[in-house]
Amino acid sequence: MGRRALVALALVVAGVVAITPFALGYIVGYTDGMGPPRTLIHSWLAAVHLAPAERELPAAAGPSPDIDALFRPFWEAWDYVHRDFFDDQAIDPTTLSRGATRGLVGSLEDPYSVYLDPVHREITEAELRGAFDGIGVQVELVEDRLRIVSPLEDSPGGRADLRPGDIITHVDGRELKGMALAESIRLIRGPRGSPVTLAVEREGRPPFNVSLVREEIRVSSVRAEVRADGIAYVRIVSFTANVSDELRRALDRLAEPPSGETRAWVLDLRGNPGGYLDGAVAVASQFMDDGVVLVEQRRGGEREEIRTQGRVRVGSGPMAILVDKGTASAAEIVAAALRDNGRATLVGEQTFGKGSVQTVRSLSDGGAIRLTVARWLSPNGEPIQGVGLSPQIAVGSVAGADLALEQAIEYVNQQPARATRDGSVSEDDRLSHDEQADSSTAESERSDALVGMLDGYERASMGGPGLA
Protein backbone atom coordinates (compact mmCIF):
# COMPACT_ATOMS: atom_id res chain seq x y z
CA MET A 1 0.00 0.00 0.00
CA GLY A 2 1.47 3.39 -0.98
CA ARG A 3 2.15 6.34 1.30
CA ARG A 4 -0.93 8.23 0.17
CA ALA A 5 -3.17 5.22 0.67
CA LEU A 6 -1.82 4.69 4.18
CA VAL A 7 -2.36 8.32 5.17
CA ALA A 8 -5.82 8.30 3.62
CA LEU A 9 -6.73 5.20 5.58
CA ALA A 10 -5.45 6.86 8.76
CA LEU A 11 -7.60 9.92 8.12
CA VAL A 12 -10.65 7.78 7.45
CA VAL A 13 -10.07 5.92 10.70
CA ALA A 14 -9.71 9.25 12.50
CA GLY A 15 -13.03 10.34 11.04
CA VAL A 16 -14.71 7.14 12.16
CA VAL A 17 -13.19 7.53 15.63
CA ALA A 18 -14.58 11.05 15.82
CA ILE A 19 -18.06 9.77 15.00
CA THR A 20 -17.92 6.55 16.99
CA PRO A 21 -18.53 7.99 20.50
CA PHE A 22 -21.80 9.51 19.29
CA ALA A 23 -22.86 6.25 17.64
CA LEU A 24 -21.94 4.37 20.79
CA GLY A 25 -24.38 6.51 22.78
CA TYR A 26 -23.25 7.42 26.25
CA ILE A 27 -19.83 6.29 27.39
CA VAL A 28 -18.93 8.96 29.93
CA GLY A 29 -15.25 9.08 30.68
CA TYR A 30 -14.54 5.63 29.24
CA THR A 31 -10.76 5.42 28.88
CA ASP A 32 -8.35 2.83 27.60
CA GLY A 33 -8.08 -0.34 29.67
CA MET A 34 -11.16 0.25 31.80
CA GLY A 35 -13.33 -2.51 30.36
CA PRO A 36 -15.94 -2.54 27.61
CA PRO A 37 -18.53 0.22 27.25
CA ARG A 38 -22.07 -0.54 28.24
CA THR A 39 -23.46 -0.22 24.71
CA LEU A 40 -21.68 -1.12 21.49
CA ILE A 41 -22.76 -0.44 17.94
CA HIS A 42 -20.74 -3.27 16.44
CA SER A 43 -21.22 -2.26 12.82
CA TRP A 44 -19.37 1.01 13.47
CA LEU A 45 -16.49 -0.74 15.22
CA ALA A 46 -16.25 -3.25 12.42
CA ALA A 47 -16.10 -0.44 9.87
CA VAL A 48 -12.83 0.74 11.41
CA HIS A 49 -11.13 -2.56 10.56
CA LEU A 50 -12.50 -3.12 7.06
CA ALA A 51 -10.39 -2.47 4.01
CA PRO A 52 -11.52 0.63 2.06
CA ALA A 53 -13.34 -1.39 -0.59
CA GLU A 54 -15.20 -3.35 2.08
CA ARG A 55 -16.12 -0.49 4.43
CA GLU A 56 -19.84 -0.15 4.90
CA LEU A 57 -21.99 2.11 7.01
CA PRO A 58 -25.00 0.95 9.03
CA ALA A 59 -28.16 0.91 6.95
CA ALA A 60 -29.72 3.50 9.23
CA ALA A 61 -27.01 5.99 8.27
CA GLY A 62 -28.27 6.21 4.69
CA PRO A 63 -26.26 5.71 1.50
CA SER A 64 -22.55 5.01 1.98
CA PRO A 65 -20.45 8.09 1.22
CA ASP A 66 -17.87 8.00 -1.55
CA ILE A 67 -14.73 8.10 0.61
CA ASP A 68 -12.44 8.77 -2.33
CA ALA A 69 -14.57 11.72 -3.43
CA LEU A 70 -14.76 13.09 0.13
CA PHE A 71 -11.00 13.09 0.60
CA ARG A 72 -10.03 14.12 -2.94
CA PRO A 73 -10.09 17.89 -2.08
CA PHE A 74 -7.89 17.19 0.94
CA TRP A 75 -5.25 15.46 -1.18
CA GLU A 76 -5.47 18.17 -3.80
CA ALA A 77 -4.75 20.75 -1.09
CA TRP A 78 -1.97 18.55 0.33
CA ASP A 79 -0.28 18.44 -3.08
CA TYR A 80 -0.67 22.18 -3.68
CA VAL A 81 0.89 22.96 -0.29
CA HIS A 82 3.90 20.72 -0.91
CA ARG A 83 4.33 21.88 -4.52
CA ASP A 84 3.58 25.60 -4.37
CA PHE A 85 3.95 26.98 -0.83
CA PHE A 86 6.76 29.56 -0.85
CA ASP A 87 8.49 28.57 2.43
CA ASP A 88 9.07 24.90 1.81
CA GLN A 89 11.14 24.65 5.01
CA ALA A 90 8.00 25.43 7.01
CA ILE A 91 6.14 22.40 5.65
CA ASP A 92 6.02 19.74 8.35
CA PRO A 93 3.89 16.64 7.66
CA THR A 94 3.26 16.06 11.37
CA THR A 95 1.99 19.61 11.82
CA LEU A 96 -0.22 19.26 8.74
CA SER A 97 -1.63 15.95 9.94
CA ARG A 98 -2.40 17.26 13.42
CA GLY A 99 -3.93 20.37 11.94
CA ALA A 100 -6.24 18.19 9.83
CA THR A 101 -7.29 16.20 12.90
CA ARG A 102 -7.85 19.41 14.83
CA GLY A 103 -10.00 20.73 12.00
CA LEU A 104 -12.00 17.49 11.84
CA VAL A 105 -13.01 17.74 15.49
CA GLY A 106 -13.35 21.52 15.31
CA SER A 107 -15.90 21.19 12.51
CA LEU A 108 -18.33 19.80 15.12
CA GLU A 109 -18.55 23.40 16.44
CA ASP A 110 -18.62 22.14 20.02
CA PRO A 111 -16.26 24.13 22.28
CA TYR A 112 -15.64 21.10 24.48
CA SER A 113 -14.81 18.65 21.67
CA VAL A 114 -11.16 19.16 20.78
CA TYR A 115 -8.00 17.48 19.55
CA LEU A 116 -5.29 17.23 22.21
CA ASP A 117 -1.80 16.90 20.78
CA PRO A 118 0.59 14.70 22.81
CA VAL A 119 1.97 17.64 24.81
CA HIS A 120 -1.47 19.02 25.74
CA ARG A 121 -2.69 15.56 26.62
CA GLU A 122 0.25 14.87 28.92
CA ILE A 123 -0.22 18.14 30.78
CA THR A 124 -3.99 17.88 31.24
CA GLU A 125 -3.81 14.26 32.40
CA ALA A 126 -1.05 15.05 34.91
CA GLU A 127 -3.06 17.91 36.39
CA LEU A 128 -6.16 15.74 36.67
CA ARG A 129 -4.10 13.10 38.49
CA GLY A 130 -3.13 15.77 40.99
CA ALA A 131 0.59 14.98 40.75
CA PHE A 132 3.40 15.73 38.30
CA ASP A 133 7.17 16.28 38.22
CA GLY A 134 8.17 19.93 38.02
CA ILE A 135 8.98 23.01 40.07
CA GLY A 136 5.54 23.84 41.48
CA VAL A 137 4.49 27.20 39.99
CA GLN A 138 1.20 28.24 38.45
CA VAL A 139 1.81 30.07 35.17
CA GLU A 140 -0.20 31.84 32.49
CA LEU A 141 0.42 33.51 29.15
CA VAL A 142 0.19 37.31 29.12
CA GLU A 143 0.96 39.01 25.80
CA ASP A 144 2.96 36.00 24.62
CA ARG A 145 5.07 35.93 27.78
CA LEU A 146 5.03 33.33 30.56
CA ARG A 147 4.05 34.93 33.86
CA ILE A 148 4.01 33.30 37.28
CA VAL A 149 0.56 33.48 38.89
CA SER A 150 1.75 31.99 42.17
CA PRO A 151 4.25 29.41 43.45
CA LEU A 152 2.90 26.43 45.35
CA GLU A 153 3.73 26.19 49.04
CA ASP A 154 6.84 24.14 49.87
CA SER A 155 7.71 23.61 46.21
CA PRO A 156 11.06 24.19 44.46
CA GLY A 157 9.60 27.35 42.93
CA GLY A 158 8.35 28.60 46.28
CA ARG A 159 11.63 27.87 48.06
CA ALA A 160 13.55 29.65 45.28
CA ASP A 161 11.56 32.82 46.03
CA LEU A 162 9.84 32.94 42.65
CA ARG A 163 7.03 35.46 43.01
CA PRO A 164 3.68 36.31 41.43
CA GLY A 165 4.25 38.54 38.42
CA ASP A 166 7.72 37.21 37.61
CA ILE A 167 8.25 36.61 33.88
CA ILE A 168 10.08 33.42 32.85
CA THR A 169 11.88 34.30 29.63
CA HIS A 170 14.06 31.22 29.06
CA VAL A 171 14.22 27.59 30.20
CA ASP A 172 17.68 26.05 29.99
CA GLY A 173 18.59 28.72 27.46
CA ARG A 174 15.54 28.27 25.25
CA GLU A 175 13.46 31.40 24.73
CA LEU A 176 9.77 31.15 25.61
CA LYS A 177 8.38 34.34 24.05
CA GLY A 178 5.62 33.45 21.62
CA MET A 179 5.60 29.79 22.67
CA ALA A 180 2.32 28.04 23.46
CA LEU A 181 1.51 27.63 27.14
CA ALA A 182 1.53 23.83 26.96
CA GLU A 183 4.96 23.76 25.31
CA SER A 184 6.42 26.16 27.89
CA ILE A 185 5.07 24.01 30.70
CA ARG A 186 6.52 20.91 29.09
CA LEU A 187 9.97 22.50 29.07
CA ILE A 188 9.78 23.46 32.74
CA ARG A 189 8.52 20.06 33.82
CA GLY A 190 10.77 17.05 33.71
CA PRO A 191 11.87 13.95 35.66
CA ARG A 192 12.10 14.48 39.41
CA GLY A 193 15.70 15.01 40.51
CA SER A 194 16.73 16.68 37.24
CA PRO A 195 18.03 20.29 37.20
CA VAL A 196 16.48 23.19 35.32
CA THR A 197 17.58 26.81 34.98
CA LEU A 198 15.11 29.63 34.46
CA ALA A 199 15.86 33.14 33.23
CA VAL A 200 13.55 35.49 35.10
CA GLU A 201 12.54 39.13 34.78
CA ARG A 202 11.15 40.95 37.81
CA GLU A 203 10.07 44.54 38.04
CA GLY A 204 12.60 46.69 39.85
CA ARG A 205 15.69 44.54 39.33
CA PRO A 206 17.89 43.28 36.46
CA PRO A 207 17.12 39.90 34.85
CA PHE A 208 18.50 36.95 36.79
CA ASN A 209 18.79 33.16 36.60
CA VAL A 210 17.31 30.65 39.03
CA SER A 211 18.56 27.05 39.19
CA LEU A 212 16.18 24.46 40.63
CA VAL A 213 15.85 20.71 40.98
CA ARG A 214 12.53 19.24 39.89
CA GLU A 215 10.46 17.32 42.41
CA GLU A 216 7.19 15.43 42.46
CA ILE A 217 4.52 18.08 42.93
CA ARG A 218 1.32 16.96 44.61
CA VAL A 219 -1.55 19.39 44.31
CA SER A 220 -3.99 19.34 47.19
CA SER A 221 -7.61 19.75 46.11
CA VAL A 222 -9.21 19.94 49.55
CA ARG A 223 -8.75 22.19 52.57
CA ALA A 224 -10.92 21.86 55.67
CA GLU A 225 -11.09 23.39 59.12
CA VAL A 226 -13.55 23.80 61.98
CA ARG A 227 -14.14 27.35 63.15
CA ALA A 228 -14.42 28.26 66.80
CA ASP A 229 -18.22 28.51 66.42
CA GLY A 230 -18.47 24.86 65.32
CA ILE A 231 -18.93 25.58 61.60
CA ALA A 232 -16.83 23.38 59.32
CA TYR A 233 -15.39 25.17 56.30
CA VAL A 234 -14.45 22.85 53.40
CA ARG A 235 -12.80 24.22 50.25
CA ILE A 236 -12.52 22.06 47.10
CA VAL A 237 -10.48 23.72 44.33
CA SER A 238 -10.81 21.02 41.64
CA PHE A 239 -12.03 17.47 41.11
CA THR A 240 -8.79 15.59 40.51
CA ALA A 241 -8.56 11.81 40.50
CA ASN A 242 -7.79 11.90 44.24
CA VAL A 243 -10.43 14.36 45.40
CA SER A 244 -12.68 11.80 47.09
CA ASP A 245 -9.84 10.33 49.14
CA GLU A 246 -8.56 13.80 50.00
CA LEU A 247 -12.01 14.82 51.23
CA ARG A 248 -12.35 11.64 53.27
CA ARG A 249 -9.01 12.27 54.99
CA ALA A 250 -9.91 15.92 55.60
CA LEU A 251 -13.22 14.96 57.20
CA ASP A 252 -11.44 12.37 59.35
CA ARG A 253 -9.08 15.08 60.60
CA LEU A 254 -12.05 17.26 61.49
CA ALA A 255 -13.35 14.40 63.64
CA GLU A 256 -10.20 14.35 65.76
CA PRO A 257 -9.80 16.35 68.97
CA PRO A 258 -9.78 19.21 69.64
CA SER A 259 -12.24 19.91 66.82
CA GLY A 260 -15.20 18.52 68.70
CA GLU A 261 -18.69 18.43 67.26
CA THR A 262 -19.45 20.10 63.94
CA ARG A 263 -22.87 21.73 63.96
CA ALA A 264 -22.95 23.23 60.43
CA TRP A 265 -21.10 23.17 57.12
CA VAL A 266 -19.90 25.62 54.48
CA LEU A 267 -18.66 24.02 51.25
CA ASP A 268 -16.69 26.44 49.07
CA LEU A 269 -16.77 25.59 45.34
CA ARG A 270 -15.94 29.06 44.04
CA GLY A 271 -13.51 29.09 41.14
CA ASN A 272 -13.65 25.30 40.88
CA PRO A 273 -13.47 24.47 37.13
CA GLY A 274 -14.53 20.85 37.52
CA GLY A 275 -12.58 17.71 36.75
CA TYR A 276 -13.49 14.05 37.01
CA LEU A 277 -17.19 13.33 37.14
CA ASP A 278 -16.75 10.23 39.27
CA GLY A 279 -15.06 12.50 41.80
CA ALA A 280 -18.14 14.70 41.84
CA VAL A 281 -20.40 11.71 42.48
CA ALA A 282 -18.12 10.47 45.26
CA VAL A 283 -17.92 13.90 46.90
CA ALA A 284 -21.69 14.42 46.81
CA SER A 285 -22.08 10.97 48.33
CA GLN A 286 -20.07 12.01 51.39
CA PHE A 287 -22.44 14.90 52.09
CA MET A 288 -25.86 13.33 51.47
CA ASP A 289 -27.78 10.12 51.97
CA ASP A 290 -29.06 7.94 49.13
CA GLY A 291 -30.35 10.10 46.30
CA VAL A 292 -29.92 11.19 42.69
CA VAL A 293 -26.70 13.11 41.99
CA LEU A 294 -27.36 13.89 38.33
CA VAL A 295 -29.41 12.84 35.32
CA GLU A 296 -27.54 11.91 32.14
CA GLN A 297 -29.14 12.80 28.84
CA ARG A 298 -27.61 10.77 26.05
CA ARG A 299 -27.79 10.98 22.31
CA GLY A 300 -31.38 10.35 21.24
CA GLY A 301 -32.81 11.79 24.44
CA GLU A 302 -32.40 8.71 26.63
CA ARG A 303 -31.98 9.61 30.30
CA GLU A 304 -30.42 7.77 33.22
CA GLU A 305 -30.22 8.69 36.89
CA ILE A 306 -26.84 8.42 38.63
CA ARG A 307 -27.24 7.95 42.36
CA THR A 308 -25.01 8.37 45.40
CA GLN A 309 -22.52 5.69 46.34
CA GLY A 310 -23.75 5.42 49.93
CA ARG A 311 -20.66 6.96 51.49
CA VAL A 312 -22.24 9.70 53.61
CA ARG A 313 -19.65 10.88 56.15
CA VAL A 314 -21.08 14.05 57.65
CA GLY A 315 -23.99 14.86 59.88
CA SER A 316 -27.16 16.56 58.76
CA GLY A 317 -26.49 20.00 60.21
CA PRO A 318 -27.28 23.09 58.13
CA MET A 319 -25.14 23.51 55.04
CA ALA A 320 -24.38 26.31 52.59
CA ILE A 321 -22.45 26.03 49.33
CA LEU A 322 -20.47 28.98 48.01
CA VAL A 323 -20.60 29.33 44.20
CA ASP A 324 -19.59 31.93 41.64
CA LYS A 325 -19.14 32.38 37.89
CA GLY A 326 -16.03 30.19 38.05
CA THR A 327 -17.93 27.21 39.49
CA ALA A 328 -18.24 24.82 36.56
CA SER A 329 -18.82 21.26 35.39
CA ALA A 330 -18.22 18.70 38.16
CA ALA A 331 -18.48 21.48 40.77
CA GLU A 332 -21.90 22.40 39.44
CA ILE A 333 -22.94 18.75 39.67
CA VAL A 334 -22.15 18.66 43.39
CA ALA A 335 -23.87 22.00 44.02
CA ALA A 336 -27.01 20.97 42.12
CA ALA A 337 -27.14 17.54 43.76
CA LEU A 338 -26.96 18.89 47.31
CA ARG A 339 -29.41 21.68 46.51
CA ASP A 340 -32.03 19.52 44.79
CA ASN A 341 -31.86 16.87 47.52
CA GLY A 342 -32.61 19.50 50.17
CA ARG A 343 -29.18 19.13 51.72
CA ALA A 344 -27.74 22.60 51.10
CA THR A 345 -28.47 26.18 50.07
CA LEU A 346 -26.44 27.90 47.35
CA VAL A 347 -24.89 31.26 48.22
CA GLY A 348 -23.06 33.61 45.88
CA GLU A 349 -23.26 34.17 42.11
CA GLN A 350 -24.67 32.42 39.04
CA THR A 351 -22.42 29.51 38.09
CA PHE A 352 -20.63 28.99 34.77
CA GLY A 353 -23.10 26.62 33.07
CA LYS A 354 -21.00 23.73 31.77
CA GLY A 355 -23.49 20.87 31.56
CA SER A 356 -21.87 18.49 29.10
CA VAL A 357 -19.79 15.36 29.55
CA GLN A 358 -16.75 14.42 27.49
CA THR A 359 -14.91 11.19 26.78
CA VAL A 360 -11.25 10.95 25.74
CA ARG A 361 -10.14 8.65 22.92
CA SER A 362 -6.48 7.86 22.34
CA LEU A 363 -4.89 8.39 18.94
CA SER A 364 -1.86 6.66 17.47
CA ASP A 365 0.28 9.84 17.59
CA GLY A 366 0.09 9.92 21.39
CA GLY A 367 -2.58 12.58 21.33
CA ALA A 368 -6.30 12.20 21.87
CA ILE A 369 -9.66 13.57 20.89
CA ARG A 370 -12.06 14.76 23.54
CA LEU A 371 -15.70 14.43 22.48
CA THR A 372 -18.95 15.48 24.07
CA VAL A 373 -21.04 12.35 24.55
CA ALA A 374 -23.81 13.48 26.89
CA ARG A 375 -25.48 16.38 28.66
CA TRP A 376 -26.25 16.28 32.33
CA LEU A 377 -29.23 17.68 34.19
CA SER A 378 -29.74 18.41 37.86
CA PRO A 379 -31.66 15.80 39.91
CA ASN A 380 -34.78 17.89 39.39
CA GLY A 381 -34.27 17.75 35.61
CA GLU A 382 -32.96 21.30 35.28
CA PRO A 383 -30.62 21.86 32.29
CA ILE A 384 -27.26 23.41 33.18
CA GLN A 385 -25.52 23.85 29.80
CA GLY A 386 -25.24 27.55 28.98
CA VAL A 387 -27.45 28.47 31.92
CA GLY A 388 -25.72 27.58 35.17
CA LEU A 389 -27.18 27.42 38.66
CA SER A 390 -28.88 30.35 40.35
CA PRO A 391 -28.01 30.74 44.04
CA GLN A 392 -30.88 30.90 46.49
CA ILE A 393 -28.98 33.67 48.30
CA ALA A 394 -27.38 36.00 45.75
CA VAL A 395 -24.26 37.81 46.89
CA GLY A 396 -22.00 39.78 44.57
CA SER A 397 -18.23 40.13 44.72
CA VAL A 398 -16.66 43.09 46.50
CA ALA A 399 -12.93 43.72 46.50
CA GLY A 400 -11.32 43.29 49.90
CA ALA A 401 -14.27 41.50 51.52
CA ASP A 402 -15.72 38.02 51.40
CA LEU A 403 -19.39 38.91 51.66
CA ALA A 404 -20.52 35.54 50.33
CA LEU A 405 -18.73 33.65 53.11
CA GLU A 406 -20.12 36.07 55.70
CA GLN A 407 -23.63 35.53 54.31
CA ALA A 408 -23.20 31.74 54.29
CA ILE A 409 -22.11 31.72 57.93
CA GLU A 410 -25.02 33.97 58.86
CA TYR A 411 -27.39 31.62 57.03
CA VAL A 412 -26.27 28.39 58.72
CA ASN A 413 -26.27 30.12 62.11
CA GLN A 414 -29.95 30.92 61.60
CA GLN A 415 -30.87 27.29 60.84
CA PRO A 416 -31.64 25.34 64.03
CA ALA A 417 -32.97 22.45 61.94
CA ARG A 418 -32.43 21.15 58.45
CA ALA A 419 -34.83 20.99 55.53
CA THR A 420 -35.75 17.54 54.30
CA ARG A 421 -36.19 16.64 50.62
CA ASP A 422 -39.91 17.33 50.70
CA GLY A 423 -39.33 20.83 52.07
CA SER A 424 -40.52 20.08 55.63
CA VAL A 425 -38.28 20.65 58.63
CA SER A 426 -37.03 17.85 60.85
CA GLU A 427 -35.58 17.98 64.34
CA ASP A 428 -31.88 18.80 64.51
CA ASP A 429 -30.48 15.28 64.27
CA ARG A 430 -26.89 16.26 63.52
CA LEU A 431 -24.36 13.54 64.29
CA SER A 432 -21.25 13.74 66.41
CA HIS A 433 -18.01 12.83 64.66
CA ASP A 434 -18.00 9.39 66.33
CA GLU A 435 -21.49 8.73 64.98
CA GLN A 436 -20.39 9.90 61.53
CA ALA A 437 -17.54 7.40 61.53
CA ASP A 438 -19.91 4.58 62.54
CA SER A 439 -22.28 5.55 59.72
CA SER A 440 -19.44 5.56 57.21
CA THR A 441 -18.31 2.09 58.31
CA ALA A 442 -21.80 0.70 58.06
CA GLU A 443 -22.09 1.96 54.48
CA SER A 444 -18.67 0.79 53.28
CA GLU A 445 -19.65 -2.60 51.89
CA ARG A 446 -22.49 -1.22 49.77
CA SER A 447 -20.46 1.75 48.52
CA ASP A 448 -17.56 -0.46 47.44
CA ALA A 449 -19.95 -2.46 45.29
CA LEU A 450 -21.11 0.67 43.51
CA VAL A 451 -17.83 2.46 43.00
CA GLY A 452 -16.71 0.24 40.12
CA MET A 453 -19.76 1.16 38.05
CA LEU A 454 -18.93 4.83 38.32
CA ASP A 455 -15.22 4.67 37.50
CA GLY A 456 -14.14 6.45 34.33
CA TYR A 457 -16.32 9.54 34.38
CA GLU A 458 -14.09 12.44 33.43
CA ARG A 459 -13.61 15.86 32.08
CA ALA A 460 -10.31 16.04 30.24
CA SER A 461 -9.33 19.64 30.60
CA MET A 462 -9.19 21.85 33.67
CA GLY A 463 -8.77 25.09 31.78
CA GLY A 464 -7.25 28.31 33.11
CA PRO A 465 -3.58 28.75 34.07
CA GLY A 466 -1.29 25.74 34.05
CA LEU A 467 1.04 24.16 36.60
CA ALA A 468 4.73 23.68 35.86
Task: Please report, for the chain, the start and end positions of each structural domain, with discontinuous segments joined by +.
Answer: 3-114, 131-218, 222-454
**Buried b / exposed e along 83-95 (16+ C-beta atoms within 10 A):** eeeeeeeeeeeee
Q: Average pLDDT, stretch 305-319?
A: 86
The answer, yes or no, to whether residue 342 has pLDDT greater than 60, is yes
pLDDT (average), residues 19-28: 34
- At 138 the pLDDT is 85
pLDDT of residue 290: 87
Please list the residues that pair with 146 across neighbouring strands: 141, 168
- Higher-confidence residue of 56 and 357: namely 357
pLDDT at 409: 97
Say yes or no to pLDDT of 155 above 90: yes
Tell me: the pLDDT tens digits for 373-418? 999 999 999 999 999 999 999 998 887 789 999 999 999 999 874 4
Q: Which of 186, 158, 187, 151 is nearest to 171 (CA)?
A: 187
Q: What is the pLDDT of residues 194-238, one digit of tens each?
A: 999 999 999 999 999 999 999 999 888 999 999 988 999 999 998
CA angle, 318 as apex, 316 and 319 as ends, to 5°?
Answer: 100
- The four Cα atoms 344, 348, 351, 357 give a dihedral, to 10 degrees, of -30
Q: Is the predicted pLDDT of residue 255 greater than 90, yes or no?
A: no
Which of residues 446 and 69 earns the better pLDDT score?
69
20-24, 58-62, 84-88, 307-311: segment of lowest average pLDDT: 20-24
CB 26 within 8 A of CB 374: yes
How far apart are alpha carbons 109 and 426 in whole angstroms? 48
pLDDT at 152: 84
Most confident region among 44-53, 175-184, 339-348 by mean pLDDT = 339-348
**Which CATH architecture does the domain made up of 222-454 adopt?**
Alpha-Beta Complex (3.90)
The string over 271-282, giving b where at least 16 C-beta atoms fall within 10 Å of a residue's C-beta and e elsewhere, is bbbbbbbbbbbb
340 is catalytic: yes
Q: How far apart are CA 386 and CA 377, in angstroms?
A: 12
pLDDT of 465: 67
What contacts 226, CB < 8 A, 6 or more positions away? 232, 233, 254, 259, 260, 262
Q: What would the DSSP string read from start to end of 106-174? A: HTT--TT-EEE-HHHHHHHHHHHHTEEEE--EEEEEETTEEEEEEEPTTSHHHHTT--TT-EEEEETTE
pLDDT at 47 over 90: no
The answer to whether residue 175 scores a pLDDT higher than 90 is: yes
**Mean local confidence (pLDDT), 83-110:** 92
Which of 354, 356, 440, 461 is labelled catalytic?
354
Give the mean pLDDT of the chain. Answer: 78
Structure-model confidence comparison of residues 254 and 268, the more confident one: 268
pLDDT of residue 89: 85
pLDDT of residue 316: 79
Write down the architecture of domain 131-218 according to CATH: Roll (2.30)
Catalytic residue (choose from 113, 184, 340, 461): 340
The residue ranking higher by pLDDT, 375 or 52, is 375
Percent of the chain's residues with pLDDT above 90: 51
Is pLDDT above 90 for 41? no
Given 329, 378, 440, 461, which residue is catalytic?
Answer: 329
pTM of the model: 0.67
Q: What average pLDDT score do residues 278-306 get?
A: 93
